[in-house]
Amino acid sequence: MYLPQATRDQTGFSSAVATVVKSKALGPVHLIHTKAPTAGNDPFAGYTDPGDALVWAFITDGAIVCKRACNDIENHAGNMNMNHMPRLSGFQMTPDFRALSIRMDRQAIGLSSSDIDSIARTVFPLSEGLPLMIGSLASQAMKMSADLGPASGAALAHSILELTTAFVDDFLGRHSAPDTIRSNLVTEARQHVELYSRSPTLTAASVAAALQVSGRTLQKAFEQEETTLSRAILESRLTHARALMERDRAIELPLGVIAVRSGFVSASTFSRAFRSRYGLTPRDWRIRFRLSIAD
């Protein structure tokens, strides 16, 4: 369940759209821990519109949907995404939403408008790599009870900016060979599939549209992979279906429900795809799985 949408007007977002738990200014970098507003919180608890800043949001609890002209991006706990705030028309948060955000000047990491669009349409998992490192560094900085001295604060801000720039360079393939650019596009497509494969409307064409590339470009990017984009979508749905069947030991979910929750348009479509992939119908696979764990 999402709270009512916060809408951006000509002056930005109002101070009532979120509650600031804690904030720390480090020169060109501003760290802010925010949460969804509630009836018991002061709606003017220090939140200010980010203006022209880039905001890297590390979601710790709940979820948020960012509204933009080209598409909406849903982000859940355990992920990070970036937004250039003037490009947002609004957002919706769940009541339990919490996030650690890093605000910075986009000029500090040299992003063009097209670069911003490319990064902003992607959600990055906080399981490894630079997103995890950047988030951990910002989180540790927020936990420091004493204020940092000018030199220490400047060094920490520089480290965050340097790591963010490196992450952006890797993602965009700046100073990289064409194959790296192709690999980045494939990675971006796979991440989009993992996030949205449970929607039956997800197709190779809709992925290309979300990434703002042609279907042919995305098809060529997958030519060196061991699978196609359509196959990757199907595999993601089948993996989710298997996970549901493994978890529903106490209450057996109807196969039709599992099909819908996994992104298939019908139980028969799910059954045919499952049997083609695993050599068993979903019903037979579930029986064999339960016998295996009972031994």
CB count in 10 Å sphere of residue 204? 19
pLDDT score recorded for residue 41: 60
Kindly state the average pLDDT of the residues 240-261.
83
Among the ranges given (92-106, 154-168, 222-236), the one the predictor scored with the smallest mean pLDDT = 154-168
pLDDT score at 178: 60
Angle made by CA atoms 69, 118, 199, in degrees to the nearest 5: 65
pLDDT at 267 over 80: yes
**How far apart are alpha carbons 5 and 284 in whole angstroms?**
45
Q: Which residues contact 225 (CB under 8 A, 6 or more apart)?
A: 186
What average pLDDT does this structure show over 56-67? 93
For the segment 142-165, what is each residue's pLDDT rounded down to a tens digit?
Answer: 887 666 677 777 778 888 888 888
Residue 181 has pLDDT above 70, yes or no: no
Sheet with 6-7, strands from edge to edge, namely: 6-7, 88-93, 63-68, 72-76
In tens, the pLDDT along 101-138 reads 999 987 777 788 888 888 888 899 988 788 899 999 89
Rounded-to-integer distance, Cα 83 and Cα 29, Å: 15
pLDDT at 261: 92
Local confidence band at 288 (pLDDT 50, 70, 90 cut-offs):
confident
Confidence of residue 176 (pLDDT cuts 50, 70, 90): low
Residues 85/53, Cβ–Cβ less than 8 Å: yes
pLDDT of residue 64: 94
